[in-house]
Structure 1
Amino acid sequence: MTDRVQYEDYYKFLAENVVTPFYHERLMYLRCVMTLRHVLGSKNPYLLKAKNITSPDELVRSIVDAFLSSQEETMFGNRLEAFAIYVSSKLYGGFKSELPSVDLEFARDDVYYIVGIKSGINWGNSDQQNRMKDNFKAAREYFRERGETREVVAVNGCIYGKDGSPLKENPDPDKTFYKYAGQDFWNFISGDDEMYREIIKPIDDEARARDEEYKRAYDGKVNGMVKEFSNIFLDEENQIDWVKLVDYVSRRGKTDIAFPREAKTPECTEYFKKKEAERKRAREEKAKKEAMRKQMRS
């Protein structure tokens, strides 16, 4: 069981490195990235029509909420992955891995763990899951070649969800792994069966403090996009012109539909610089993992 001092340290990390940057990212995404042109071009207009959406407000909220939901899953999942690595680093000296399909490495009780972390249990297609197993096999061979005498155990850890049969056996023993999800994953990382619940407290406290600002920004963005949509896609009877909307999304070539330009604020300019730096780091990390993959298989 984790003591209160450890919990306070975890709460602090979650507040400062998970919830605060998550809300900042959501705000910046609303203010700087999301535009009507952006979201309309990526949504299925036939589905919107099939849902019998009749008002600009309903349509805009539907596409904005769907768009944000897909982005937020990635934003938040990446930060909780960082928290899992932090907990492991404090308890067992764990560290972020450079191995392909592996996010965390740590040793405990004479076992060396390689852990690939995902948000939920239903991630990836069969090709992606087979690639993970291939990379687990390559990692085990890599460690053996370098004299690792401890058992190397591969784990697919899922931040939420449940899996009642964690051992995923394979005819090739090097591709066998454990899949720990939800309570089992956080217990595996921390040795604390209540950790999956304790994470809620600091998230709740920090979210309450920051949600009002986000809601104001969300309402302002939606109201502006509703006005813009109405100016462009309502017909003379103030009904949604579905033919015009389908033309914008799917007609070959350029359309004559013009969207107003949005001025970039200094805040957004700084945000885009930061995102480009993050993308550069991500490319470098991907290149390192690819180089490691080639080294492991050479």
Structure 2
Amino acid sequence: MNQTLLNLVLDYVSNNIGTFHKKRIQSLDTLKLDKVLRRKNPYLFKAKYQLTSEQIIRSLIDAHISSAEEGIFGDWLEELAIFVNSQVYGGKKSGITGIDLEFDLDQIRYLVSIKSGPNWGNSSQIKKMESDFKTAAKTLRTSNSGLIVKAINGCCYGRDNKPDKGDYLKLCGQRFWEFISGEEELYSELIEPLGHTAKTNDDLYQEAYAKMINKFTIEFGKDFCKADGAIDWEKLVHFNSAK
């Protein structure tokens, strides 16, 4: 492993991982109970025998967190990948629609669409990516007809042992990090620095999480519980689904 590159990555992660944690907290701070209640299935709460406000609120917030964190951290990893490539091959964040990273290597222009993991999209989303690749290559060749362009769907984690997808390569996990850095073991070296200040940042996050649980539990109790404390399921379903 190139120690100079590893040190640059360590510094980058140390200086920027706080951004991820701040956005995690912001995703909670902007949450509104009425909005998340309208997006969730009230029949499921009843079917799971959730009888307290806190049980329902935790399931709502935890579902939101699971979805939000994947997207927030995926965006953060994309920036890390671009940084790594810029240090090794002089790559840059692309200004072309649907393309995240551009760089030249061995007289080839690589266009990279970066995703978190291998199971990132449905068939229509994949077709949209393929269309973006074709449009980008056509645009680049307009100004340089001899340019060799190759498209890459890079996934920051996971595996795909059949990377050749015809019009593009799908490189996941170790294959992706090695492709953008030239370093075979970078994918495993990344795991340690990501824990930098994790405990301190998570303490702040857990405090924000607890406040949100308490706040929403009180709101839910006022709006959807009867005088005896039981959940008013009819009122909840009406709020969620009535025409």
Fold match by TM threshold 0.5 = yes
Q: Deviations over 1:18-43 (max 9, x none)?
A: x2011111222323x11322321221
- Map of 1:176-195 to 2, 5 A cutoff? 176-195=167-186
Distance across 2 between alignment mates of 1:116 and 1:162: 16
CA–CA separation in structure 2 for the residues paired with 1:127 and 1:39: 26
Q: What do residues 68-97 of structure 1 show as CA deviations (whole Å, max 9, x unaligned)? A: 211111111111101111111111110111
Distance (whole Å) between structure 1 residues aligned to residue 110 and residue 151 of structure 2 = 6
Corresponding residue for 2:121?
A: 124
Tell me the residue number matched to 1:7: 6
String of CA shifts for 1:248-269, please: whole Å, max 9, x gaps: 11122xxxxxxxxxxxxxxxxx
Alignment partner of 1:166 is 2:157: no
Residue segments in structure 1 that go unaligned for 5+ positions in a row: 170-175, 253-298
Amino acid at match of 2:93: K
Instruction: State the Cα deviation string for residues 101-147 of structure 1 (Å, max 9, x = none).
Output: 21110011222111011112112222221122122222222333322
The answer on whether the counterparts of 2:177 and 2:183 sit within 8 Å (CA) in structure 1 is: yes
Q: Which residue does the alignment assign to 1:205?
A: 196
Give the TM-score normalised by structure 2: 0.94
Task: Name the structure 1 match of 2:152.
Answer: 155
Contact 2:27–2:68 (8 Å) recurs in 1: no
| 1:292 counterpart residue number | none
Say if 2:222 is the partner of 1:222: no
TM-aligned CA deviation for residue 150 of structure 1: 4.5
Q: Determine the structure 1 residue equivalent to 2:71.
A: 74
Question: CA offsets per residue over residues 164-193 of structure 1, 9 Å max, x none?
Answer: 000112xxxxxx110001111111111112
Structure 1 residue 236 and structure 2 residue 236: aligned?
no
Which residue, 12, 16, 23 being the options, matches 2:21? 23
List aligned pairs for 1:53-68, cutoff 5 A. 53-68=50-65
Say if 2:241 is the partner of 1:250.
yes
Structure 1 residue matching 2:87: 3-state secondary structure: helix
AA aligned to 1:49 is K
Return the letter of the residue paired with 2:171. Answer: Y
User: Hey, what's the Cα distance between the residues in 2 that align with 1:15 and 1:58?
Assistant: 36
Residue 39 of structure 2 is aligned to residue 48 of structure 1: no
Greater CA deviation, 81-90 or 228-237?
Answer: 228-237
Q: Deviations over 1:173-226 (max 9, x none)?
A: xxx110001111111111112211222112112212211111111112101211
- Aligned-CA RMSD value: 1.6
Query: TM-score, with normalisation over the residues of structure 1?
Result: 0.77
Post-superposition offset of 1:235: 1.8
- Decide whether aligned partners of structure 1 residues 148 and 97 sit closer, same or farther in structure 2, where only a CA change above 3 A counts: farther
- Distance across 2 between alignment mates of 1:7 and 1:208: 23
SS in 1 for 2:226: coil
CA distance in 1, matches of 2:128, 2:32: 36
Find the counterpart in structure 2 of residue 107 from structure 1.
Answer: 104
Asked if the contact 2:141–2:147 (Cα under 8 Å) also holds between the matched residues in 1, the reply is no
Equivalent-residue separation in structure 1 for 2:73 and 2:206 (angstroms) = 18
Which consecutive unaligned segments of at least 5 residues does structure 2 have? none
Secondary structure in structure 1 of the residue aligned to 2:184: coil
CA distance in 2: counterparts of 1:47 and 1:16, whole angstroms: 42
Q: Distance in 1 between matches of 2:33 and 2:187?
A: 38
CA contact (8 A) 2:5 2:87 kept: no
Q: Secondary structure at the match of 1:21?
A: helix
Q: Distance in 1 between matches of 2:176 and 2:145?
A: 25
Q: CA deviation at 1:162?
A: 0.7
